[in-house]
Chain A
Amino acid sequence: MREMFAEDRERLKELGVGAMDKSARSQARQARRVRERLANSAALTVLLIAAGITVAALAVIILYVLIHGAPSISPRFIFTWPHGVNAEGGIWPTIVSTIYVTALAMLIATPIAVLAAVYLAEYARQGRIVTIIRFAADSLASVPSIVMGLFGLAFFVDAFHLPMSMLAAALALALLMLPIIMRATEEAIRAVPRYIRWGSYGLGATKWQTVSKVVLPWAMPRIITGLVLAMGRAIGETAVVFYTMGMAINMPLTPLDSGRSMAVHLYMLAVDGINLKAAYGTALMLMIIILVLNSLAHLIQRRYRKVR
């Protein structure tokens, strides 16, 4: 050991490092430290700027839509029908259609997705089948919305002879929401502490009793958060709804009625450029709904954190 160091020392002497005078050495060290510190603060500033740009992009979009959309929003705009070629007037039927189809999709997707997540988290043994299910859910989550739209058209409308309707759109949207709710629910269930389950089993409860009366209630806030986020996704979806629900302005009564969602309405107004005022108003209404849903999700999560 000591010999090794002696060798090193000798080599250093040969290189002339040992000869370097003490103040020069500390100067070099100090210069290096300054350089490092400069690089550090420069890099951290870049990170700050990047985060700033991200937030600024959001602020610009929200402010832009808000400033241009706010003047057109009034009770009349919300609660009356559009009329004329320029879609003057309100957007009431599109709001009803949007809520209708989203609620229907939730009704279809929620039980299937939650029970599927229960299977993955509580019942399934890790193996090939679970791998396949997970891969399928991931793929489903990343299917481009236009592909989902064409599938809805080819499957629900063409093959099953459903009319272009709330039901066809809700089925396609449910498929879109399925992986989102599944993942949120599975994560929620996995976050339930084990000892709670043991307590339940210890009292003699069966697996289903434990899941339905102990695990699911405990995981409920996070499941609801996932549901709310999935709802936001469905409300903003355009391509899927376009091919399964149609674009006729209509007040839906039965699930087999067609209609036009807010997102489709906004798309048509913006592309034709006929009534930008109504387009801004619709965009703002959409943003407000999404914003409310997002804050609802946050609120549920924060309350749940306080309880624990």
Chain B
Amino acid sequence: MQDLLKIMLVALSVAAVHPLASAQSLSQKLRAEPATALVNAALASGNAVRGAILFPLQKSGCANCHAAGNSTLLGPDLTRLGHPVTNESLVEEILEPSKVIAKGFETATIVTTSGKSITGRIVKRSASEIVVRDTSPERRLTTLETADVEEIAENKVSAMPDNLIDQLKDRQHFLDLLRYVMEISADGTTQAPAETYSRGGGTIRQELQGLVLLKQFNCAGCHRDDVSPNSVPVNPGPNLTWSGGHVNPHYMQKFIADPAQVKPQTGMPDLMAGLSDEQRHSLALELTHYIVSLSEQSFRKQPVDDEAAVRGRELFHSVGCVACHSPRDDAGQEMLSKSSAPLGTLEDKYGIDGLSEFLKNPHEVRSGGRMPSLSLTHWEALDIAHYLLSRGSEDQSAADGSFVRDPEVAEKGRLHFRRFGCATCHGKNQNHTAATAPPMSSLRIDQGCLSEDVGPWPRFDLNIQQRQAIRAGLSGRTRVLSDEEHISVMLTAFRCANCHQRDELGGVSPERNPHFQTTNPNLGPQGRIPPTLTGVGGKLNPTWMRQVLLGGRLTRPYVRTRMPQYGTESLAALVDLFQTVDAVPEEKYAQFKDQKAMRTTGHEMVGTGGLNCIACHTFQLKQAANMPAVDLTEMSERLHKSWFYRYMRNPQQLSMNTIMPSYWPGGRSIRRDILDGDPDRQIEALWQYLLDGRQARQPRGLIIEPIELLATDEAVMLRRSYPGVGKRGIGVGYPQQVNIVFDAEQLRLAMIWQGKFADPGGVWRSQGHGTVRPLSRNVIRFAPGPDLDDANSPWIVDEGRPPQHRFKGYSLDKQRRPIFSYEFDDFTVTDYFVDAVDPKSQQSLLRRTLTLQSKQTDGHVTFRAADSEEITRGDDGTFRIGQTLKVRIASDQAGQVVDTESGHQLHVPLDTTETSSTLVLEYLW
């Protein structure tokens, strides 16, 4: 197990190590061997599981271009090579890729009429367009109009580098990889996947787009929605009670007076058509006074903190804001404003507090959920607010935001508010609007709000496409959406499709692609691009999906773009819709009798001895060596079993971006020694294991970080169980690299060693049933029983608690070294170990000072300083204890070597005729 882990870790760092290895590279050496020899060696000793794990690693890079069951990648789908494959030819193709390039996988360099040049593989070619997958790390798909193509030059050299194999550690790794590739390409005729990937990027039909806009502009506020009332939740205007306290009144006034001028594309209509600028201005002022009066808070501006703004910029461009809003350049200029949701001049509108509050909890202000919550912490929201407001307001009147309330003006404003019907969109209860205007089905679609005329109707800032879409939507007339249409309308309305692809619809656009980031590049594109929604209802359990959509539950911590939250009920309908539309029939599952046995087998398969899932998958938040792939302990909670079966059989077929290797290529297991190699039973065993969820037993190979307790400039201490010491051990590591365990139950020095202190893993992991392990092989242990005892009665030598001794605790000196304190009979005892360096030997030593105090003065007590099989008295006055340790009595008492059953003990009889006596011992090496 450890070997494999080591190997995989090495595999990650091969590039750095390799150049030093030898003059001849691995690929050169391998090319010198006959292909047959390599094939035979792979068959004899290649480990396909290890190969499967090497295959997707970034360093070897196979999965960047090749996959099983995905035909649009840069390299051939290895399960369907489409030409006669022998194992020998595979060796050749890996070692000399350019010798024979698979048909259709030649790379070409295409020069466009505008002079742009793209190198890649042509995946589709028709009369009108050419689709190229380029060789950039992103492997981007580009569609070119045939008319724009100036020249296509086919390349003679394969896109696969000749020396790719040099990324591997050694010949064995090559054999492992070869063995795996032999497995997946074994029959070369695997049937084509039923589903082929759509490129996405599509949008919904115009009339559906119209339905989205009808809700977005809250048309049902005035027109009863008899067209498609339940397609999407409506989008009311902001909660003005909040705005009154958080939006700059000067901005508010300007905005009300001419909404589209201040914020192009706003959903707020102009209600004052036909009025003069002066009239607009004064009405807007009165309305502003009214709105401000709704809040007890007053707008305030705060200074921008430049450091926070820097953090905010990073957050803005990574957590997901720019999936809908425009990314900004260094100067703060929007780069994609045309295709983005507008922000307007936030500097004029908000203060830091107001904007951060809105970002933290947007649904309090905008209940329609179009602006989702990105689960920002208070501090993240502040940082983003500092960034978005960092340019400062250019509007002088808005600069300080001060505003004097005037109740009389506000009262006038209140009357306008009623007159204009502002509450239609800004009221508390959106469902009880007067709906005075004609119902939607009877609207004349070229008049009123949908015309460009000015009249007694609200004027929305619609562009021509929007107008046409709304007209198309209205002409649908009380049509009932199919479930799939309903889904795509929802995905569009809430801009889910900006990040997620579902069949033809949506997906990350090329220009926003760079802003989708990952914490771990080893995962490839799946590490940063939000997962596909194609078939998602057949994949995820409804409970899980609800928790993700509405409860903020996440399982891909490596995707830096956060899954937004849209408010409790906005998206709830999607859960059922997905489940209905995407339902797939149950698979035929493997039958078994003994569930426990299956679970045990599954446990073995997940570990290093089986399919080694643990090499890449997180287990209970503990990251694997290679990459943080989805947590194994959440699989069964997330997934439908049928999906799990299908995915296991052919991962790329269901998930385009996955780098999960196929362990059952062509329906054959690469581990034929487990469960007779039966794929279904193997998959079932995994599932049975995963069903245990959080309770699943830790698989073999889970990396456990070592813990070490070390003394540096102070003593370190841990009261726990030590080997051979009861449960009341007190271990102390001293800065001079000497260590003891004091037994607080028996009041004795139990262990002593030089070197590093201890590994507490045995008591700090799992239930804590182990012991603290001293980090030395040369630990000296002393016999049970207390160190201080009555000289006239037999010495206690059992492991129990001595009846006359009572531990009283300890105090710490300035270096955190304990002074133990206990009582024995009538004596009060302190026992104090201090580390030092022996001037003679330059070795560290422990000086132990024992003090006794007693009211009585006629005791006969003896102190046991050490014991061993052999104790001899040295010439220098020290006692040699066994092989390595010496004890010197530094005070004026005399030691005696006493025979015991098991060897010798060093005793120091103590004179207790004084009320206080002191014994000083030195333990030396």
Q: Do A and B bind each other?
A: no
List residues of A whose CB falls within 8 A of some B CB. none
